[in-house]
Amino acid sequence: MVQIRMRKLFFIYIVISTVSFIWFYSSCGFPECKEKEIEHLIKKYKARNKELDKKISDLSQQLQECQKNVLTSGRTEFSHSPTIYMVTPTHTHPEQKANLVRLSHTLLHVKNIHWIVIEDSVSKTVLVSKFLQNSGVKNTHLAALTPHEIKMKYNDPTWLKPKGVLQRNAALRWIRENLNPNTDNGVVYFADDDNTYSLEIFQEMRNTKKATVWPVGLVGGLRYEKPIVKDGKVTGWFTYWKPNRPFPMDMAGFAVNVNLFFNNPDARFSNEVPRGFLESTILEQLNVKMEDLEPRAENCSKVLVWHTRTEKTKLKNEQLMIKRQGQGSDPNIEV
Ligand code: UGA
Ligand code: MN
């Protein structure tokens, strides 16, 4: 009996082992088959990877094309629309490139703009040259140095000396020498590199017969300064600081027709004028009268440009870094 049971048990054992063996290999495959399958899968995924790499490279090429188109769209010329000649003095300081990058990104959205950038330096710097070449904005790059005696020091109070005078004059010279008053229809706007400009302000100034004016935000110790307008005419000024100036407004608050510089060939900025008189003296030399002023920005009721200032960054840890580890930041890395 015992023998028969043992046989039976053995038989059951053999059957179960065989079935398990067959089941195991049918579900997992034989080792060589498995290897082949894995090799096949690797090949398949490698091919797929290659395809995806190619797709990525094609798409990045397309993206680059699109970016180029976006950058150059600001250059599109429309013969019927006057060009805005935007005059921007700029000087070497730690925040210069940040200011220029920010401003150029605004200008990329503006049609028919010609940016005249004048460096306060003996000659054009590599930083500004490279920046302008890649900016995508139509530009003219000039340099005019402010003499040592009238040059602001980095830590001087901002009001101490007039700024951007010789640079704006260099731009006026370029305009007079390079534009044709009979064929070049345009507007001149003196736009400093640290202000904030809405896109609307460019539309507002585009059609300027003689001189357009509008409010400027965050200036003169007020939330805004602005011309006072009655029945579509400028009758006075909302300005606290030196309100008796002929035109008590900031440089960012007006634009003039380019013809004015041809009709008044001697008009230029001067370092000799009292503080806050740069705007008034240029407009007077251009023979602009109060009644000529064309109010913009919904009769001067909207702020579309802000006299912002970029905070001076404290770089005191550069020196401490040199003391601590023998060298400061790498001068070859442009900031
Ligand atoms: C204010 C007005 O907004 C300016 O239009 C005016 O020229 C200036 O006062 C002045 O009274 O001279 P503010 O913000 O005090 O401007 O001056 P900044 O923005 O520091 O300088 C005006 C422009 O001149 C800027 O585009 C700046 O880059 C340039 N600048 C400044 C130089 O070219 N050289 C310098 O040494 C300093
Ligand atoms: Mn400024």
Domain membership of residue 54 (yes or no) is no
CATH number for 278 = 3.90.550.10
Helix axis angle, 96-107 relative to 126-133, nearest 10°? Answer: 20
- Cα 322–Cα 327–Cα 329 angle in degrees, nearest 5: 100
Q: How far apart are CA 15 and CA 13, in angstroms?
A: 6
Q: Is 279 annotated in the active site?
A: yes
- Per-run averaged pLDDT (10 residues), the chain, 335 residues: 66 74 60 80 89 84 67 53 98 98 98 98 98 98 94 77 96 98 97 98 98 99 98 98 98 98 98 96 98 98 98 96 96 97
Q: Please give the pLDDT value at position 73.
A: 53
Domain membership of residue 24 (yes or no) is no
Domain membership of residue 325 (yes or no) is no
Ligand 1 pocket, mutate which of 86, 165, 192 (most atoms under 8 A from CB): 192
Q: Residue length, the chain?
A: 335
Q: In the chain, how many domains are there?
A: 1
Domain membership of residue 35 (yes or no) is no
Closest ligand relative to 117 C-alpha: 1
CB 214 within 8 A of CB 110: no
Domain membership of residue 103 (yes or no) is yes
Q: Whose CA is nearest to atom 7 of ligand 1?
A: 163
The answer to whether the CB of 242 is under 6 A from ligand 1 is no
Question: Residue 161 Cα, ligand 1 centroid: separation in angstroms?
Answer: 9
Q: Please give the pLDDT value at position 70.
A: 56
Q: Please give the pLDDT value at position 74.
A: 47
Closest ligand relative to 146 C-alpha: 1
The answer to whether the CB of 96 is under 6 A from ligand 1 is no
Ion ligand 2 residue ranges (Cβ < 5 Å): 192, 194
Domain membership of residue 292 (yes or no) is yes
Q: How far apart are CA 256 and CA 191, in angstroms?
A: 12
The answer to whether the CB of 295 is under 6 A from ligand 1 is no
